A and B are shown apart, each in its own frame.
Chain A
């Protein structure tokens, strides 16, 4: 009896602790998001209000029409579609290539493995400003693309194409590194068991490792999607016209003029642009929160 009561008390205390934690974290989260609220409030103001000498939090009139007006400037359905296509292809290919390479680097011993892995890291160490031009030239002279001949001459190559946008993203080493670190944490006994069962490396990868990779693949998908969706510099260089423009380039180019920036529309467009990423994040959470426990590795 007594013990039972004690446990009940503890559970109760734990519940209180939980509530307190949630309240504290919520307050923290609100403080953390002040800049974000400023963004939303600005998106609902009129330009003279934004340009007024005094900053006031509350908009005089809540101009929800700003969102509609922002979407009327330019062909936003095209920009969203383009960015969506590029992001989906990039994420899909990256998931496959990165998890395979990550597995190879983490679990399979082969000659030169560590050196080859170190090389992949160097890719992240060079500022984009420096490699941008050779990458551009390589894509322009890609054999047999965009009217090029076998040696890569004559045409425009992959300039202004989806492929030209996607390929440099796929070559990023970030995901390989992430997957490698994840697979390294798996117990050695897992490989031994697979070996005893007569599994080939491919079978081990597909049957054992991939099913256990949901959390890391969800994380990678979310991060890669955020980076691709939000990239500005590369589409700026690769894209020449409206038909292939991506959302980030559009946000900057549609609302800034030589002399002024339409802050309200720019903020409204920014808010709309991050919406798909937010939804993605909310929906993928169950995969990386689910953890590895549910799928049950036991040593």
Chain B
């Protein structure tokens, strides 16, 4: 008797728990329609920003406080999360769990995927009536669009600028005012600038990651005239001769023992530790170096880098999105308008090292960053980011693997790219 009772009790518990879980899953899908809210009613907007930089946090919190003061019925709950693993984990959990933030500031990397999954709302309607529309930079629009729709507006564009050390150039007998412009020059300079101790490179001539890296091969291949990915036809093309030639060229740096091996996002770029003479890096790296107070900050020179058929550098962006799930898109857009007003962007430029995304702010930008500003604005027109395709993450993995295989000399450039290409094709299908 007793046993049966307990068994029944356990069974009942399992059933209720199951029911609750079942309900939970259903709930995420049918977000209850809410009645139109009048502007008087209190509204809470949630805003998730990728990045945990303190100065940026402070600037955003001040902007939000000012906005809330102007609009007493609106509360903005600001939260932030670290880039990379943390961001993807948090964002995915929130979307999957049916508690997506109304506003998201996230990197460009997953725009195609998330837009096609329907997580981000198209903003075309709102932008139509936006008075600042023509004051916003053309290539910034381009970054936030996908398949003819505008899903987001970049608030920071992170174009990779060519950094070099003038003091090391002088040490090696090179002219500190003429950075390399061609591939041949870059290789030649790198050989002259590398410093060995025994067999080990202790100072790299030209620093780039050899592992976990896609941001070197892609822009160099583009410099060589390769498309890498044919976005119109939704097809990868990186097994062409141009890309193969590029990878062969980059592999020379390994063969000639000119690199310090490091992993993107795991190790510091040796340049930022003073152990390299040339590299591609972001404006943010420069402001961070300045804030850290390194001695050689005045020895830095900047340019838009090398070219072959054309000049090309890699670029990322921090983009403002509105969630498709949001129940308050109107209000979220109003806040975005406020965030993209000249005063707000100006504040972010001054206090956080954000870049000018508004035409009217270009001059202010150069004034604020006289050293790197001009080089950055010049680079901006040569910048291209990740291809905007749904399979961008798989493409990234494929490029990383091919690049590593060639850099470690495991496969020759052609085999590495062919293998990665075929693997990617099989996955896309």
A contacts, CB < 8 Å to B:
46-48, 51-53, 73, 111, 129, 132-134, 136-138, 140-143, 151-153, 156, 159, 233, 236-237, 240-241, 252-254, 256-260
Interface centre among A142, A143, A259 (most CB of B within 10 A): A259
Chain A residues near B98 (CB-CB < 8 A): 137, 140
Give A74 Cβ to nearest chain B Cβ, in Å. 9
Q: Which of A46, A140, A260 contacts B99 (CB 8 A)?
A: A140
Interface range on chain B: under 10, 10 to 19, 20 to 34, or 35 or more?
A: 35 or more
Give A190 Cβ to nearest chain B Cβ, in Å. 25
B89 x A51 contact (CB < 8 A): no
- Residue B37 at the chain A interface, CB threshold 8 Å: no
A137 x B284 contact (CB < 8 A): no
Q: Which of B3, B51, B99, B275 contacts A258 (CB 8 A)?
A: B51
B99 x A156 contact (CB < 8 A): yes
Chain B residues near A134 (CB-CB < 8 A): 21
Interface centre among A138, A141, A256, A257 (most CB of B within 10 A): A257
Chain B residues near A142 (CB-CB < 8 A): 20
In the bound assembly, the distance between CA atoms of A139 and B62 in angstroms comes to 32
Q: Which of A73, A111, A136, A260 contacts B288 (CB 8 A)?
A: A260
B273 x A259 contact (CB < 8 A): no
Where chain B touches its partner, the secondary structure class is helix
In the bound assembly, the distance between CA atoms of A133 and B294 in angstroms comes to 43
- Residue B363 at the chain A interface, CB threshold 8 Å: no
Chain B residues near A241 (CB-CB < 8 A): 77-79
A132 and B20 contact, Cβ closer than 8 Å, known pairs A240-B79, A253-B81, A260-B288: no
Chain B residues near A260 (CB-CB < 8 A): 272, 285, 288-289, 291-292
Give A165 Cβ to nearest chain B Cβ, in Å. 14
A141 and B27 contact, Cβ closer than 8 Å, known pairs A133-B96, A253-B82, A258-B83: yes
Q: Which residue of A lies closest to B297 (CB)?
A: A48
**Which 6 pairs show the lowest CB-CB distances between chains A and B?**
A257-B53, A260-B288, A259-B284, A141-B24, A259-B288, A53-B274
In the bound assembly, the distance between CA atoms of A233 and B93 in angstroms comes to 12
16 contacts between A and B (CB under 8 A): A46-B293, A51-B273, A53-B275, A129-B89, A133-B96, A136-B97, A137-B96, A143-B20, A151-B23, A153-B27, A252-B82, A253-B80, A253-B82, A254-B52, A254-B54, A257-B53
Interface centre among A47, A73, A260 (most CB of B within 10 A): A260
In the bound assembly, the distance between CA atoms of A133 and B77 in angstroms comes to 22
Q: Which residue of A lies closest to B202 (CB)?
A: A53
Where chain A touches its partner, the secondary structure class is loop
Q: Which residue of A lies closest to B293 (CB)?
A: A48
Q: Which of B51, B90, B273, B288 contacts A236 (CB 8 A)?
A: B90
Q: Which residue of A lies closest to B270 (CB)?
A: A53
A258 x B53 contact (CB < 8 A): yes
Give A290 Cβ to nearest chain B Cβ, in Å. 38
In the bound assembly, the distance between CA atoms of A244 and B57 in angstroms comes to 17
A257 x B97 contact (CB < 8 A): no
- Residue B287 at the chain A interface, CB threshold 8 Å: yes
- Residue B86 at the chain A interface, CB threshold 8 Å: yes
B292 x A141 contact (CB < 8 A): no
- Beyond A73-B54, A137-B96, A259-B284, 8 additional contacts (C-beta under 8 Å) are A51-B294, A52-B273, A53-B203, A133-B96, A137-B28, A159-B99, A257-B284, A260-B285
- Residue B125 at the chain A interface, CB threshold 8 Å: no
Q: Which residue of B lies closest to A242 (CB)?
A: B79
Chain A residues near B292 (CB-CB < 8 A): 47-48, 51, 260
Chain B residues near A53 (CB-CB < 8 A): 202-203, 273-275
Report B118-163 residues with CB < 8 Å from chain A CB.
Answer: none
Q: Which residue of A lies closest to B19 (CB)?
A: A151
Q: Which of A46, A132, A141 contacts B93 (CB 8 A)?
A: A132
In the bound assembly, the distance between CA atoms of A252 and B52 in angstroms comes to 9
- Residue B36 at the chain A interface, CB threshold 8 Å: no
B51 x A152 contact (CB < 8 A): no
Chain B residues near A140 (CB-CB < 8 A): 24, 97-99
- Residue B254 at the chain A interface, CB threshold 8 Å: no
- Residue B177 at the chain A interface, CB threshold 8 Å: no
Give A271 Cβ to nearest chain B Cβ, in Å. 20
A257 and B77 contact, Cβ closer than 8 Å, known pairs A136-B97, A236-B86: no
A237 x B24 contact (CB < 8 A): no
Report B70-107 residues with CB < 8 Å from chain A CB.
Answer: 77-83, 86, 89-90, 92-93, 96-99
Chain B residues near A258 (CB-CB < 8 A): 51-53, 56, 83, 284
Give B195 Cβ to nearest chain A Cβ, in Å. 10
A240 and B77 contact, Cβ closer than 8 Å, known pairs A141-B20, A153-B27, A260-B285: yes
What 0/1 pattern do residues 293 to 312 of B give for CB contact below 8 A with A? 11100000000000000000
B288 x A257 contact (CB < 8 A): yes
- Residue B282 at the chain A interface, CB threshold 8 Å: yes
In the bound assembly, the distance between CA atoms of A52 and B274 in angstroms comes to 7
Interface centre among A151, A241, A253 (most CB of B within 10 A): A253
Give B373 Cβ to nearest chain A Cβ, in Å. 17
What 0/1 pattern do residues 38 to 58 of B give for CB contact below 8 A with A? 000000001000011111100
